[in-house]
Amino acid sequence: MKKLIANKEIDVNEEGYLTDFSQWDKEIGKCLADECEIELSDKHWEVIDFLQDKHHKEEALSIRGIKKSGVINIKEFYALFPGGPLKKSTLIAGIPKPKSCI
């Protein structure tokens, strides 16, 4: 399905996750964050870059993996992306929802 994000037609699934990462850019990420009521800081972008890097390396994402990453501690991760940090952060990063998320 298609969704208009940042004045661009983007391919998304039924949950709003991008189905084609090549369509993602920082403007798209910002618009997705706005929809989640999250104002992106430098720390948000650091986490997003980390998640995208893991995705490109085809490494599984999980809360445990975030904890071990050294990029952010879990308490801060939950504060930056409240209400489902792994779901929201991956949605904003333009990558598929991790299998560890229900």
Under DSSP, is residue 9 helix (H, G, I), strand (E, B) or coil? Answer: strand
Closest CA to 65 of 83, 90, 33, 40: 90
The catalytic residue among 28, 40, 71, 101 is 101
101 is catalytic: yes
DSSP reduced 3-state for 91 = helix
Question: Catalytic positions, please?
Answer: 101
